[in-house]
């Protein structure tokens, strides 16, 4: 994705009012998330030790930011990419029963990001995880949870409208579910991103199921690490995968807007299968993987919800830099200023 400059873009809020609106959105969303999903807040690390398998390696190719720890013999630590595995370990540590969970503020640095309207070096999201029963590892439970989160998004939209009535609601009443294989069959000549554009523009709020597994054309819709989301277990809809992405249609940028990735997490069988499929069976010797294989971690569902992205979407901003402070290329800053896009 390259930089998008909307025609005749005008700020819905001045920077000072934007800061107040960000606070309103973040406070309101996490309060509702806590209640709807029965979560409690915990404190999260900014970095973890390298070589433990605790950090999320996303698509498996992104480099983590690393640094030596002087008082530990220069042992390497790395800034988290997300907390997908750490949260599940914390569920087990606190012995949180099925039906309840935790959430935290996750802050990360992703130095390999291509910087544009939606992507920043700085990532801030609500990472959440919830203990479930073995019998809850189903596509129906996944869809139920997605609908719960979508109901919060609808409420947030009207909270913004109540305070800033010139920012009008745009989300549909319901979110549509579709599998990545169905998308391929609908639009076989398009790339995965182009398929997402087509379907999200049509329905405006979509959950694409099955991210990480190989489709009938021999390709993946998108990459996923093998050791957190379950993307290889058959579900009752006749497809593989118990995970997916929440996609919204962004009218300001006229493009697909990914707000959240989430899913039922791997059990022992799915973990071993996916490690083998991805050619990294040696990970079974890592701390997290050993704990899961030995039955020391609960079954769970979880995901991440972008904080700045949520604010950007509901405040109708054209660039994530309008709702978060980060570093941007000088040329990008200049172009944005020329088009009334004021980065913080």
**Residue 109 β-bridge partners:** 122
Residue 180: predicted pLDDT: 98
Instruction: List, in order, residues 6 or more apart from 311 with CB less than 8 Å away.
Output: 21, 22, 25, 26, 317, 323
Instruction: Supply the DSSP symbol for 191.
Output: -
> Kind of pairing, strands 66-69 and 205-209?
unpaired
Residue 82: predicted pLDDT: 78
Q: Which of 78, 222, 245, 267 is catalytic?
A: 245
2 is catalytic: no
258 is catalytic: yes
Residue 111: predicted pLDDT: 84
277-306 pLDDT, tens digit each: 999 999 999 989 999 999 999 999 999 999
Give the domain ranges of the chain: 20-338
59-118 pLDDT, tens digit each: 556 778 899 999 999 999 998 887 888 999 999 999 999 999 999 999 988 888 889 999
Instruction: Supply the DSSP symbol for 38.
Output: T
Radius of gyration of the chain (CA): 20
Mean pLDDT within 144-172: 97
- What does the alpha-carbon distance between residue 259 and residue 142 come to, in Å, rounded to a whole number? 16
10 Å CB burial of residue 196 (0-12, 13-18, 19+) is buried
50 is catalytic: no
Sign of CA dihedral 169, 35, 174, 137: positive
177-229 pLDDT, tens digit each: 999 999 999 999 999 999 999 999 999 999 999 999 999 999 999 999 999 99
110 is catalytic: yes
Under CATH, what is the fold of the domain 20-338? BirA Bifunctional Protein; domain 2 (3.30.930)
Q: Which of 64, 181, 261, 274 is catalytic?
A: 261
Integer angstrom CA distances of residue 198 from 5, 203, 280: 20, 9, 34
User: Residue 33: phi, psi to the nearest 5?
Assistant: -60, -45
**Residue 177 β-bridge partners:** 207
pTM of the full structure:
0.94
230 is catalytic: no
Give the whole-number percent of the chain exceeding pLDDT 70: 98
Percent helix, strand and coil across the chain, each to the nearest 5: 35, 20, 40
Q: Which of 56, 124, 196, 222 is catalytic?
A: 56
Looking at the predicted structure, is the pLDDT value of residue 1 above 90? no
- Averaged confidence pLDDT in the chain: 94
- Asked if residues 180 and 221 have their Cβ atoms less than 8 Å apart, the reply is yes
- For 87-148, give the DSSP string: HHHHHHHHTPPTT-EEEEEEEEE-TT---SSS--SEEEEEEEEEE--GGG-SHHHHHHHHHH
Q: How many helices (H) and strands (E) does the chain have?
A: 9, 11
155 is catalytic: no
């Amino acid at each position: 994705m390259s930089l998008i400059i909307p025609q005749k873009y005008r700020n819905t809020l001045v920077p000072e009012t934007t800061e107040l609106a960000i606070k309103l959105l973040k406070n309101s969303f996490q309060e509702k998330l806590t209640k709807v999903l029965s979560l409690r807040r915990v404190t999260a690390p900014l970095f973890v030790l390298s070589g433990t398998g605790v950090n999320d390696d996303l698509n498996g190719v992104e480099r983590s930011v690393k640094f030596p720890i002087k008082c530990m013999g220069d042992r390497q630590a790395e800034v988290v990419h997300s907390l997908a595995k750490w949260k599940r370990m914390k569920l087990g540590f606190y012995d949180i029963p099925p039906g309840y969970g935790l959430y935290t503020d996750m802050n990360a640095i992703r130095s390999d990001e291509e910087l544009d309207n939606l992507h920043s070096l700085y990532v801030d999201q609500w990472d959440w995880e919830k203990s479930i029963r073995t019998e809850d590892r189903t596509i129906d439970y996944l869809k139920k949870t997605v609908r719960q989160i979508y109901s919060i998004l609808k409420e947030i939209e009207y909270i913004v409208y109540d305070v800033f009535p010139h920012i009008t609601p745009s989300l549909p009443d319901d979110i549509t579910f579709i599998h990545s294989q169905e998308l391929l069959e609908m639009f076989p000549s398009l790339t995965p991103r182009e398929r997402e554009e087509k379907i999200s523009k049509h329905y405006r709020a979509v959950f694409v199921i099955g991210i990480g597994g190989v489709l009938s054309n021999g390709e993946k819709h998108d990459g996923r690490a093998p050791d957190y989301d379950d993307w290889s277990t058959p579900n009752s809809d006749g497809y593989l995968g118990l995970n997916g992405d929440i996609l919204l249609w962004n009218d300001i940028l006229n493009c697909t807007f990914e707000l959240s990735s989430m899913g039922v997490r791997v059990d022992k069988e799915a973990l071993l299968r996916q490690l083998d499929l991805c050619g990294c069976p040696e990970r079974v010797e890592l701390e997290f993987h050993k704990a899961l294989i030995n039955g020391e971690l609960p079954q769970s569902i979880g995901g991440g919800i972008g904080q700045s992205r949520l604010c950007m979407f509901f405040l109708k901003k054209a660039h994530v830099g309008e709702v978060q402070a980060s570093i941007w290329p000088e040329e990008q800053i200049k172009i944005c200023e020329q088009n009334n896009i004021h980065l913080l």
